[in-house]
Amino acid sequence: MSYLLETENLAFGIGDFQLVDVSLALESGEYHVLLGPNAAGKTVLLKCLLGLHRPRGGAVRLRGKDITSRPPEKRRLGYLPQTYGLFPHLTAGGNIDFAVRRSRGGGGREQLLDLLGIRGLLERPVGELSGGQKQKVALARCLAAGPEAILLDEPFSAVDEETRRYLWIELKETFRKLGVTVLQVTHSLEEAYTLGEKISVLIDGSVRQSGTREEIFQRPGDPDVARYLNYRNIFSGPVRKNSGGWEADLGHFRVRPPGPPPAGERVTVCLRPQDLKIIREGVPVRDSLRDNLYSGEIAALHPFPEYCLARFKVTGSPREWDLELKFPSYIKDRHGLHPGKKIRVAAWSPNIIVF
């Protein structure tokens, strides 16, 4: 099938930094998030798509047509930078009209003003707008030009923490109503999860994985992606086959994933912190938890506003701690958890990741 916007083996170099073989594909109307750590090349990639950087190799296609050598003004791709870039010599309305005058059909200035709720801001100088208002005016300007797709670079970095989540939902709803295709850059996992229907993970200048948000967050494609998602329990060890299946021998404990054994002699496995459950003594253990049950003690507890992290040390382990657990805050009280407390922990088998 033909994608709205796609790149094929895009390559670009600037200083020591390289974008390598980047292939991305956006379907029409999709909200696609480009997720990655700082300096992974996210902004550089956006600028290659926009025509602001000239790639060294590969192709950019819009509706199947090669636009790699088209200048930015002929690409029909909207751009919302981190700082919004509202022209300081114009009012909010002047900024929007700047785009309207050049719009190639579509746009719909009046509809945008109502949908974004910015009709009252038109006469204001841009210096007097709040972060959220600036974002909306910049968005209206971007959409008023009637682009095929819009590219957003960390659009929430200048918005207050408390309004950010509200804006995520509002923005996504606006784009859904307008049927806009979006590619958004972010380094925030939460933002990517909330907004992205599709997510591509960019690390060190290459796209490591593209997929639905469930695929990315449940089945990270490689250990680097898993680490970026904050999954700390990543271990490598030799594969041991036995009558019941196979296991990864990690020295002082073993992980028994479901499914057939991997081809090599060594394997890397990942246990997501949220897939580790605390099991009370004397309570029957479910099948899906029974294969990976560990006894030990809590090495440390780290409470956060919305959850709690615990570090768990397997009995007899030479390390300070072995596994990181993430659970809702109330669990801490229900189990009376404290450092040094002896507990049992089980990994939920279906979600064990094997690389």
Partner 1 sequence: MNRVFDIALAAGTALLAGFFLLLAAGLLLTMIETAPAAGVSGPRILSVLRVSLLSATVSAALATGLGIPTAYLLSRKDFFGKTALDTLLDLPLVLSPVAVGAMLLIFFSTGFGRRLDGLFGPFVLSPRGIIVAQFVIVVGLAVRLLKAAFDGVDREYENISRTLGLGPGATMLRVVLPISRRGVLAAFLLVWGRALGEFGATVTLVGATPFRTETAATAIHLSLESGDLAGGLFFVAILLAVSMTILYLVRKI
Q: Between residues 102 and 319, which has the closer beta carbon with respect to partner 1?
A: 102
Q: Is 265 in the site for partner 1 (CB under 8 A)?
A: no
> Which listed residue (15, 38, 64, 88) binds partner 1 by CB under 8 A?
88
Taking a C-beta distance cutoff of 8 angstroms, is the pair 146, 117 a contact?
Answer: no
Candidate segments 2-10, 43-51, 235-243, 300-308, binder of partner 1 by CB under 8 A: 43-51
Q: Between residues 95 and 209, which has the closer beta carbon with respect to partner 1?
A: 95
State in angstroms the smallest separation of the CB of 123 from partner 1.
18
Taking a C-beta distance cutoff of 8 angstroms, is the pair 67, 7 a contact?
Answer: no
Q: Is 71 in the site for partner 1 (CB under 8 A)?
A: yes
State in angstroms the smallest separation of the CB of 271 from partner 1.
43
Q: What is the DSSP string of 260-285?
A: SPPSSSEEEEEE-GGGEEEE-TTSPP
State in angstroms the smallest separation of the CB of 80 from partner 1.
9
Please give the size of the binding site for partner 1, defined by CB under 8 A. Answer: 26
Q: Up-side HSE of residue 299: CA atoms within 13 Å toward CB?
A: 17
State in angstroms the smallest separation of the CB of 62 from partner 1.
13
Q: Is 205 in the site for partner 1 (CB under 8 A)?
A: no
Structure token digits, residue 297: 């003690």
Q: Is 155 in the site for partner 1 (CB under 8 A)?
A: no
State in angstroms the smallest separation of the CB of 149 from partner 1.
11
Q: Is 73 in the site for partner 1 (CB under 8 A)?
A: yes
Candidate segments 71-79, 181-189, 265-273, 345-353, binder of partner 1 by CB under 8 A: 71-79
Q: Up-side HSE of residue 112: CA atoms within 13 Å toward CB?
A: 24
Q: Is 72 in the site for partner 1 (CB under 8 A)?
A: yes
Q: Is 50 in the site for partner 1 (CB under 8 A)?
A: yes
> Which listed residue (32, 47, 187, 332) binds partner 1 by CB under 8 A?
47
Burial string for 6-19 (b: 16+ CB within 10 Å, else e) reads bbbebbbeeeeebb
Candidate segments 99-107, 168-176, 269-277, 326-334, binder of partner 1 by CB under 8 A: 99-107
Q: Between residues 69 and 236, which has the closer beta carbon with respect to partner 1?
A: 69
Q: Is 17 in the site for partner 1 (CB under 8 A)?
A: no
Residue 251, classified by CB atoms within 10 Å of its CB into exposed (0-12), middle (13-18) or buried (19+), is middle
Give the H or E element holding residue 217: helix 213-218
Structure token digits, residue 12: 């670009």
> Which listed residue (54, 56, 63, 102) binds partner 1 by CB under 8 A?
102
Residue 232, classified by CB atoms within 10 Å of its CB into exposed (0-12), middle (13-18) or buried (19+), is middle
State in angstroms the smallest separation of the CB of 93 from partner 1.
15
Q: Between residues 183 and 345, which has the closer beta carbon with respect to partner 1?
A: 183
Structure token digits, residue 345: 């922990």
Q: Is 12 in the site for partner 1 (CB under 8 A)?
A: no
Q: Is 79 in the site for partner 1 (CB under 8 A)?
A: yes
Candidate segments 140-148, 186-194, 220-228, 314-322, binder of partner 1 by CB under 8 A: 140-148
Residue 241, classified by CB atoms within 10 Å of its CB into exposed (0-12), middle (13-18) or buried (19+), is exposed
Three-point CA angle 43, 47, 49, nearest 5°: 115
C-alpha distances out from residue 105 to 79, 93, 145, 146, Å: 18, 19, 8, 6
State in angstroms the smallest separation of the CB of 72 from partner 1.
4
Stretch 51-70 residues interacting with partner 1 (CB under 8 A): 51-52
Instruction: Using alpha carbons, select from 196, 180, 252 the residue that is nearest to residue 5.
Output: 180
Q: Is the dihedral of CA 224, 225, 227, 231 positive or negative?
A: negative
Burial string for 203-219 (b: 16+ CB within 10 Å, else e) reads bebbbbbbbebeebbee
Binding region for partner 1 (CB under 8 A): 47, 50-52, 71-73, 75, 77-79, 81, 83, 85, 87-89, 98-99, 102-104, 141-142, 145, 147
